[in-house]
Amino acid sequence: MTVILYQQGFNPYQILQDYESAQLKAPEKIGATSIFIGTMRDFNEGSNVTGMTLEYYPGMTEKQLEKILQDAHSRWAIEDSLIVHRVGDILPKDPIVLVAVWSSHRGDAFDASRFIMEALKSTAPFWKKEHLNSTESRWVSHNTNGYQLKTP
């Protein structure tokens, strides 16, 4: 169970490779790895977005992310888990979040990673301020429920 916050850009694929070779718990038991990577779009709610600033609550953000991983480990049979999240100034195409779950079986890996991502979206103290151009910016008001079906 590991939580990492990055002030600068990160390469999720490099982090996964390094984590698996140096830190991964019980690698011989792993039969399924589920990975989610969230990246920044250049549009939101009908506007072009040129960048954003991610504010967080030092201490509480890490504490809540660790709690989410503990919850996931108590609910599913998983061997290890990782959350990496950006803070600070972010540009379109930059990775924002990486969630990885290692398990013996795919069901636990898939379901735990989805749970972690949705719990992060609704409870981890991060706040996005979108920059629309050089002078205009706006706070994102809330996250949507990822389980809700999109209507066309």
Partner 1 sequence: MTINVHYFASLKEHIGRSKNELPYTSPLTVREVWEQSNPDILIPNNVLVAVNMDYVDWDHLVEDQDEVAFFPPVTGG
Question: Which residues lie near partner 1 (CB under 8 A)?
Answer: 38, 54-57, 59-60, 63-64, 85, 96-97, 117, 120-129, 139-143
Give the SS3 label for residue 19: helix
Q: Looking at beta carbons only, is 21 or 74 nearer to partner 1? A: 74
Q: Looking at beta carbons only, is 41 or 105 nearer to partner 1? A: 41
Smallest distance from partner 1 to CB 80, Å: 20
- How many angstroms separate the CA atoms of 20 and 17, rounded? 5
What are the strands, taking DSSP E only, across 70-125?
78-86, 88-90, 95-103
Between helix 60-75 and helix 106-123 the angle, nearest 10°, is 150
Residue 127 CB-half CA count within 13 A: 8
Q: Looking at beta carbons only, is 5 or 78 nearer to partner 1? A: 5
Smallest distance from partner 1 to CB 62, Å: 9
Smallest distance from partner 1 to CB 1, Å: 18
Nearest alpha-carbon partner for 10 in 77, 85, 67: 85
Smallest distance from partner 1 to CB 122, Å: 7
